[in-house]
Amino acid sequence: MKRDAEAVERLYSVKPARFHMGKRMWMIPINFQTPKGRDEADEQQVTYLTFNLFLPDYNGYTRENWRDQFDRRRIEVQKVSLGEKEVREPASDGNSRQNAPEFYGDPNAGFRNLRPLMEESPSFNMYGLKGYKRRGTGSSGVFWSGNRTNGEFFFFQSSLAPGEPLQPGLTNPLCHTQYYSAQEDLFIAYRYSQTHIAAWREIDSAIWEKLRAWQTK
């Protein structure tokens, strides 16, 4: 810990870095990726973006908040990549077909594919969401479905059902989602502490607001 603290003190930076992905570019302060970013390249070609936000203000790493790797304030955006809706896959007849919705992350297709794993009717109706328990005795977790601020269908999973006790080895239950946004033409995956599940819509909107603010082309 002492060595890490010395490295952060020496290498902490808020300098902006350019990230090129396809024809798009984002200018992101490096402290949204790492607390030790002083020597990171100022311009990078990437296949996907990653970054971290900290509640309640959705800021990046500071010289202090990096210390707790299980910080319940942290939102971990694990992947932002170009949409693959228009990608064409080779077919057995020698032609090509448009990528299937379930393969590029369409949330409606993803939910339909997972629907057989869920109970028939939702056990929960809260936070502006419908919550479906997993089928089977002893199965933990809930699938939540609703609509994002822009109206797009959306679903995510939580580690535990409301009121369910912690399981052995599970110290920080999470909410996790991954989906393709047709409006943004981007695929995204992120997770955060289930402590903040009631703020799911605010969190989702804040992530996209950051991406729009950072995008320069």
In this model, does residue 92 exceed pLDDT 60?
Answer: no
Q: Is 169 helix (H, G, I), strand (E, B) or coil?
A: coil
**pLDDT value of residue 88:** 43
188 close to 77: Cβ distance less than 8 angstroms: yes
Residue-wise pLDDT for 15-66, tens only, equals 999 999 999 999 999 999 999 999 999 999 999 999 999 999 999 999 999 9
Lowest-confidence pick of 6-15, 29-38, 164-173? 164-173
DSSP bridge pairs for 96: 90
Q: How far apart are CA 176 and CA 196, in angstroms?
A: 12
Task: Please enumerate, as own/partner, the contacts of 156-159 that have beta carbons within 8 Å and a separation of 24 or more.
Answer: 156/200, 158/194, 158/197, 159/194
161 close to 173: Cβ distance less than 8 angstroms: no
204 close to 148: Cβ distance less than 8 angstroms: yes
**Sole residue written with tokens 């900290």:** 54
168 close to 140: Cβ distance less than 8 angstroms: no
**With bands split at pLDDT 50, 70 and 90, how would you rate the model's confidence at 137?**
low
In this model, does residue 98 exceed pLDDT 60?
Answer: no
Q: How far apart are CA 160 and CA 139, in angstroms?
A: 9
In this model, does residue 216 exceed pLDDT 80?
Answer: yes
Residue spans per domain, the chain: 2-214
**pLDDT value of residue 202:** 98
**With bands split at pLDDT 50, 70 and 90, how would you rate the model's confidence at 4?**
confident
The amino acid sitting at 67 is: R
Mean pLDDT across the chain, nearest whole number? 90
**pLDDT value of residue 108:** 94
194 close to 158: Cβ distance less than 8 angstroms: yes
In this model, does residue 76 exceed pLDDT 70?
Answer: yes
Does 96 or 62 have the greater pLDDT score?
62
| 184-200: b (≥16 Cβ within 10 Å) or e | bebbbbbbbbbebbebb
Q: How far apart are CA 146 and CA 102, in angstroms?
A: 18
Q: How far apart are CA 10 and CA 12, in angstroms?
A: 6
**pLDDT value of residue 86:** 52
204 close to 154: Cβ distance less than 8 angstroms: yes
**With bands split at pLDDT 50, 70 and 90, how would you rate the model's confidence at 163?**
confident
